[in-house]
A and B are shown apart, each in its own frame.
Chain A
Amino acid sequence: DVKVTQSSRYLVKRTGEKVFLECVQDMDHENMFWYRQDPGLGLRLIYFSYDVKMKEKGDIPEGYSVSREKKERFSLILESASTNQTSMYLCASRVPGALYNEQFFGPGTRLTVL
């Protein structure tokens, strides 16, 4: 079974803090993704990485950066957290050419920025 883990289930930070969200997958997947989920807006792609040290902006990259130094780990960084970044953050991974093209998701991190 594919396992995608995220470092925290719940996180509370203050405005202006630097925030690191970590994601680890154990299936040697090349592709990894960061989404945020907000009520009424669905899942929106922030950044993705198609391989180690490769990254590409998604639909809403402003205010975020990412790091992928090792294949199994993909980090999302909020350089200076703001209240509008309060959200559920979801990490996913995928192997290119998979039978169903599916992405496997972690449990999510509920981030609150005060």
Chain B
Amino acid sequence: DQQVKQNSPSLSVQEGRISILNCDYTNSMFDYFLWYKKYPAEGPTFLISISSIKDKNEDGRFTVFLNKSAKHLSLHIVPSQPGDSAVYFCAAMGGGSNYKLTFGKGTLLTVNP
């Protein structure tokens, strides 16, 4: 059973516009969420995270929003740049484990010049 879901396999946006990547989770015990970015032939790199006690966290062009009642989080990238083109993974932590991250399947973001 997939506990972290990224229902959009891909997303295409124009440079300068907003990119919104979505993630849903089913395990209400998850209490920490992370976003990773991955370029081809490289390992994932940490982007931004949010604790379940918050509903928003911002870092430069990246903002993560958490809606606990809906078990939904989203990553907003404003403005989008061609270098943001990558696969974005949502990950969740908690649910009885302080070690393990449960990842979604990823969303391929393409930012067109």
Does A74 interact with chain B (Cβ within 8 Å)? no
Nearest CB of B to A6, in Å: 8
How far apart are the CA atoms of A56 and B98 in the complex, in Å? 13
Decide if B105 touches A105 in the complex (CB within 8 Å).
Answer: no
Contacts of B104 in A (CB 8 A): 42
- Chain B residues with CB under 8 Å of A44's CB are 103
Tell me if A's interface is mostly helix, strand, loop or mixed: strand
Contact A108 B105 (CB under 8 A): no
Bound-state Cα–Cα, A12 to B103, Å: 27
Q: Is the interface of B mostly helix, strand, loop or mixed?
A: strand
- A contact residues, total (Cβ < 8 Å): 28
- Which residue in A9, A42, A110 is a CB contact (below 8 Å) of B106? A42
Instruction: Say yes or no: A43 contacts B103, CB within 8 Å.
Output: yes
Asked if B103 and A108 sit within 8 Å, CB to CB, the answer is: no
Cβ-based interface call for B74 (8 A): no
Please tell me if A103 contacts chain B, counting CB pairs below 8 Å.
yes
